[in-house]
Structure 1
């Protein structure tokens, strides 16, 4: 904030020296110098012209330099021109009125500014006032100690401070205005400044966009100590509005007062903030420290005290940090306290406590109600046991009941101390063991073993918006591992449904919390009762037993992209006229015999020996098949008894959207869809 006028007095002194030598002279005086150095400034190609003023009062002065450098303020290679009139007032003081023009100064600083100078030798003071557009600056200093100045700034464009900012940090000012009252001392190796300031809509950017601010307003006190080996900044401010980005920490400040206190140190491009304190009364209070590498990456974060009130704490301050952990959206209600430590981008320790907290991730697929208790983890230290409970859980819209769990951190692993059970849809999910490695950036992050018992399938279907299947879901997952960004299920699940079984094995789920989860696995069908199955869908009725498999399933964002399905009913049974039409539509086929179309109209049900249909999906194309080859296609239904009815499919390749439309039309949209 000092670069507007801190060195301008030095230029005036050069002119005054020449003017004093010319006082009383009738002829003009010209002074030239290839190089001229004064404390804090060097000029090349300097020229000063002094002539009697045209009205006979005072002197007309012109001073110019091809290049002016002020290293302590970060100003280099500036063009300079100073024009004006010098005279003495009734008190015997030198008074200069004119203009100053700098070429190449950051933000266009003093590109064409009015300047007023008063030099009072009796009082040993020099005052310099500048004005350009809405920006004003005033500098006062003792003439025998020009390295010390009192500076007042009003409406100063923040871009004018770029030179000074560059001596402290590699960032840049991007907008807004600044007012300030500061004391400045120019040292042999740098600059020291302190005082009060206010901001209006100020922005800054730096380190590849990892450190930035926009629209910041407020006021406070500032101290700067810029030396050759680095710089330090001490700040105590009250901010109102604006956005701030500090690595993974993003803050959207409210319109009401937020107290910010920090101490920062820069050296060789690195930024350390060993003192950070923020108080936003209705959202967040925190204390700790941060450090950033020269490329802007967060190298250290230690927040010793965190008190958050949600949802304000998340919407104003938590989005950036949680996104670095893969959480894109969070809906939260309640309070949370604790501390957290990160080094080199890796989590090293955390402890969190809450009396009541409600959380929802993403679109509500995952969530917890009434979370209470504490959790305490460290990558290097053993921590005491903690208890954590909740009133309810939600996993992909499956409601879970209340439970209590106990935990202990040892050797960098957060472990469940004893098994516990969670009520789920009239059954139970038993968590037999669980180990979590919060600090693992890659590799295995979580391992658990689970058991499901007596889950009501009708309630399960209602939760997912499916037609209601009767039966029970149960099974064991002896090993569930979260490796890198993929969940791997060991063992399998067995669902007792339609008086048969559906077995799910080799299941994996990649990017489980992302926008497009990828699910893979195999499904085996064993002796499903077709009468019960077809009663759920408006497909037409069938009797008999169905078995088969759906292997190599791949679902992306819950939409199928690949599988190999083969379904067979080979124990005989009855099939209705509607079911025949549905199978014919799905297979893109027709009735095999010439008279069968007429027979179909006369009978409501038919006997069959075998029914089979297969589909191998790859991309958007499904390769269709059935019981075996038939004339011009493949057999879908092999009839039995009289009237004998056979159904043949003719289309071998069907695009998947077309097949889905056929299935939907055949069942009138009654099939299960993951929503």
Structure 2
């Protein structure tokens, strides 16, 4: 079976046209011989054909008019011409100076109109030599050197044809061929080259072309597919041997720019070569090579079904691809809604892929000395080597290792992570990642690909990390103590991370617990986090020791419920800080009192209490309490209790002993971003001013 998409497979349209012209010539000679000037003052011939059906084309509403004997005029009009899936309307050919004799039919001055398209045309049909030469010069003649020349020779049962294009305008060809509304629109192009067709009887046996396309520009109606100043070189050869078509092709792209949503490419000498066969309903690409300047080369092969345009089998292999260019041109555009959209990459990558039976069969990704750097400094990896093999029906072992990395400026040490792949599942039984002076243990990591996307789960443990070192790398005020904890089962599905149970960690000689943690779209540019957080028996001395805010001794419990972060910025929470139950030393420094007074307002303490501030460095207290309900950018503040019966003000610190000092706040609504800025300035200067 021959390829169905070659709708002209059984006959050549130029040959059919030549045969039709020959029969018209014979008919006109017979007509001219039977008619004389005595019988007709102006000889006139008019042939109307309602339908002409042929395997190669169909013609509707056609007419042929031939008038005059000494200076005959030929007019041909076609209401509709169908060839394959292409359709033309209102085709008109007029030849004012047509020569007709026993050896040839020639037109030296003709016009061809197709809709709004118009061009001059000349042709010569030699019946003696069985040859047709046709030239088309489009109107208006902006390019005087433009020429489209078709030559057809046929001898006995064989024929050959060639279309030569000299400085051809691509816009003329685009207007000549029917286009759908959503198809690419050609705005400009310059074509030079030849297209050869050979055949026997009514079939094609060979096709070849050498064509250069220069200054090509195109776009679609949406603006998502655009090309500018593109130069292409096309070399194609197709030959038929019995029932098999052998073909080879080569496309070179030396210049130009293409934006094909979401990708952008520039022509820098990219080249595609391929060869194969077409047999029956299948096209076999036996050998192909794609060479991308700045990236590298990839070898590939494929088998596809022509009727349903389905890929049945494919293989691709590439070695030492330059990851920096590959990442910028292909990977990053596909991940524009994730953190990878702002990541720079360098290194080499090897890829091997196999597709068969409508499914991926195997994939191997081999990264060599790769570095990944987030431009917003959220993460970075250096010296990354990874061998990740995957087979649909086989369990395989791989390895990921890196020399160093950092997350939110926190350094990670040299790490080796063994991996196992089995079908659509990836396992990491156990891995340890050094973090500062501690380490993170990851266990039972299982990832699988489901119909809804990737899913994974894990659990682990964080061994003690120095808070002083951690805050140093986070570039925030120093804190003391250690951070450690147990990580319960965490899972990921539908772009959402959820935590089962409680995440417990040791912090500031107390305990921190996170519950109901849900993180949506963690790799996007706007991650969304909700959780409930509680801290129990936190040592205020450790917490406040390094701050200019002042020293407070004691223990507090903190609850933050309904915490909601968008892009890691809080937009909602209900927070409450209260003194922990129990017997412990409760002291507050003069500096801390001043800052709390500033937080509470000018009238936070009485005049008598203010006078004591300069006389004592420390004061006793019974209880400390503060609350904040954040809604958007507003913090609705509260304290231990109301300061008066009419609920004006709230108590922040309840004093004890002599002198007793009680601090009352009166600002019930505070702009949260502004409060953070002023607190930051207060910590730096040691003298906050908060209204």
Report TM bin, short chain: 0.7 to 0.9
Q: Please tell me whether residue 37 in structure 1 is matched to residue 52 in structure 2.
A: yes
8 Å Cα contact 1:306/1:339 also seen in 2: yes
Q: Which of 575, 591, 597 is residue 604 of structure 2 equivalent to?
A: 591
Bigger Cα displacement from structure 2, 513-522 vs 593-602:
593-602
In structure 2, distance between residues paired with 1:624 and 1:191: 87
Q: Which structure 2 residues correspond to residues 263-302 of structure 1 after superposition, within 5 A?
A: 277-280=289-292, 282-288=294-300, 302=314
- What residue in structure 2 maps to residue 654 of structure 1? 670
In structure 1, distance between residues paired with 2:334 and 2:542: 51
1:602 is displaced (CA, Å) by: 5.9
- What residue in structure 1 maps to residue 630 of structure 2? 617
In structure 1, distance between residues paired with 2:393 and 2:153: 59
1:601 is displaced (CA, Å) by: 6.0
In structure 2, distance between residues paired with 1:232 and 1:217: 27
1:375 is displaced (CA, Å) by: 1.3
Q: Which structure 2 residues correspond to residues 483-522 of structure 1 after superposition, within 5 A?
A: 483-490=493-500, 493-522=503-532
CA deviation map 1:384-434 (0-9, x unaligned): 323332212333332211122322222432222x53322211221222332
- What residue in structure 1 maps to residue 568 of structure 2? 558
1:35 is displaced (CA, Å) by: 2.7
Segments of structure 1 that go 5 or more residues without pairing to the other structure are 53-57, 226-230, 671-675
What number of residue pairs does the alignment pair up? Answer: 648
- What residue in structure 2 maps to residue 315 of structure 1? 328
CA deviation map 1:513-568 (0-9, x unaligned): 10011223233223333333223333233332232222222111010011121112
| Residues 21 and 656 (structure 1), Cα distance of their counterparts in 2 relative to 1, 3 Å cut | farther
8 Å Cα contact 2:97/2:110 also seen in 1: no
Q: Which of 120, 123, 128 is residue 122 of structure 1 equivalent to?
A: 128
CA deviation map 1:206-235 (0-9, x unaligned): 99999987654321223689xxxxx99964
| Residues 44 and 159 (structure 1), Cα distance of their counterparts in 2 relative to 1, 3 Å cut | same
- What residue in structure 2 maps to residue 261 of structure 1? 274
1:9 is displaced (CA, Å) by: 5.9
Q: Please tell me whether residue 409 in structure 1 is matched to residue 421 in structure 2.
A: yes
| Residues 126 and 2 (structure 1), Cα distance of their counterparts in 2 relative to 1, 3 Å cut | farther
- What residue in structure 2 maps to residue 664 of structure 1? 680
In structure 2, distance between residues paired with 1:330 and 1:300: 35
- What residue in structure 2 maps to residue 397 of structure 1? 409
Bigger Cα displacement from structure 2, 445-454 vs 29-38:
29-38
Bigger Cα displacement from structure 2, 239-248 vs 546-555:
239-248
Q: Which of 304, 311, 319 is residue 316 of structure 2 equivalent to?
A: 304
In structure 2, distance between residues paired with 1:488 and 1:113: 69
8 Å Cα contact 2:544/2:550 also seen in 1: yes
CA deviation map 1:481-515 (0-9, x unaligned): 22221223445555544444444444332211100
In structure 1, distance between residues paired with 2:455 and 2:359: 13
* Alignment root-mean-square deviation, CA: 4.7
SS at match of 1:217: strand
| Residues 601 and 141 (structure 1), Cα distance of their counterparts in 2 relative to 1, 3 Å cut | same
- What residue in structure 1 maps to residue 689 of structure 2? none
- What residue in structure 2 maps to residue 453 of structure 1? 463
SS at match of 1:255: coil
SS at match of 1:659: helix
Bigger Cα displacement from structure 2, 22-31 vs 523-532:
22-31
CA deviation map 1:352-383 (0-9, x unaligned): 123322233564533432222411123x3123
- What residue in structure 1 maps to residue 649 of structure 2? 633
Q: Which of 437, 441, 446 is residue 430 of structure 1 equivalent to?
A: 441
Q: Which of 63, 77, 81 is residue 46 of structure 1 equivalent to?
A: 63
1:193 is displaced (CA, Å) by: 4.6
- What residue in structure 2 maps to residue 103 of structure 1? 114
In structure 2, distance between residues paired with 1:146 and 1:314: 53
- What residue in structure 2 maps to residue 220 of structure 1? 234
8 Å Cα contact 2:230/2:267 also seen in 1: no
In structure 1, distance between residues paired with 2:187 and 2:15: 23
- What residue in structure 1 maps to residue 487 of structure 2? 477
| Residues 493 and 331 (structure 1), Cα distance of their counterparts in 2 relative to 1, 3 Å cut | same
In structure 1, distance between residues paired with 2:107 and 2:169: 25
SS at match of 1:218: strand
In structure 2, distance between residues paired with 1:299 and 1:626: 69
| Residues 251 and 665 (structure 1), Cα distance of their counterparts in 2 relative to 1, 3 Å cut | closer
1:127 is displaced (CA, Å) by: 0.3
| Residues 559 and 373 (structure 1), Cα distance of their counterparts in 2 relative to 1, 3 Å cut | closer
In structure 2, distance between residues paired with 1:9 and 1:588: 98
8 Å Cα contact 2:540/2:556 also seen in 1: yes
| Residues 542 and 388 (structure 1), Cα distance of their counterparts in 2 relative to 1, 3 Å cut | closer
Q: TM-score, normalised by structure 2?
A: 0.79
8 Å Cα contact 1:239/1:260 also seen in 2: no
Q: Which structure 2 residues correspond to residues 296-375 of structure 1 after superposition, within 5 A?
A: 302-307=314-319, 308-320=321-333, 327-340=340-353, 349-360=362-373, 363-375=376-388
In structure 1, distance between residues paired with 2:194 and 2:326: 34
In structure 1, distance between residues paired with 2:641 and 2:570: 25
Segments of structure 2 that go 5 or more residues without pairing to the other structure are 1-5, 240-244, 687-691
| Residues 267 and 615 (structure 1), Cα distance of their counterparts in 2 relative to 1, 3 Å cut | farther
In structure 2, distance between residues paired with 1:415 and 1:593: 65
In structure 2, distance between residues paired with 1:168 and 1:274: 33
In structure 2, distance between residues paired with 1:325 and 1:425: 27
Q: Which of 466, 473, 484 is residue 463 of structure 1 equivalent to?
A: 473
Q: Which of 534, 539, 552 is residue 542 of structure 1 equivalent to?
A: 552
8 Å Cα contact 1:252/1:317 also seen in 2: no
Bigger Cα displacement from structure 2, 596-605 vs 458-467:
596-605
Q: Which structure 2 residues correspond to residues 204-243 of structure 1 after superposition, within 5 A?
A: 216-222=230-236, 235-242=249-256
| Residues 636 and 364 (structure 1), Cα distance of their counterparts in 2 relative to 1, 3 Å cut | closer
Q: Which of 591, 607, 620 is residue 620 of structure 2 equivalent to?
A: 607
In structure 2, distance between residues paired with 1:209 and 1:260: 29
- What residue in structure 1 maps to residue 3 of structure 2? none
1:635 is displaced (CA, Å) by: 1.1
| Residues 16 and 234 (structure 1), Cα distance of their counterparts in 2 relative to 1, 3 Å cut | farther
1:66 is displaced (CA, Å) by: 5.3
8 Å Cα contact 1:19/1:50 also seen in 2: no
1:130 is displaced (CA, Å) by: 1.0
SS at match of 1:629: coil
8 Å Cα contact 2:533/2:560 also seen in 1: yes
| Residues 281 and 507 (structure 1), Cα distance of their counterparts in 2 relative to 1, 3 Å cut | same
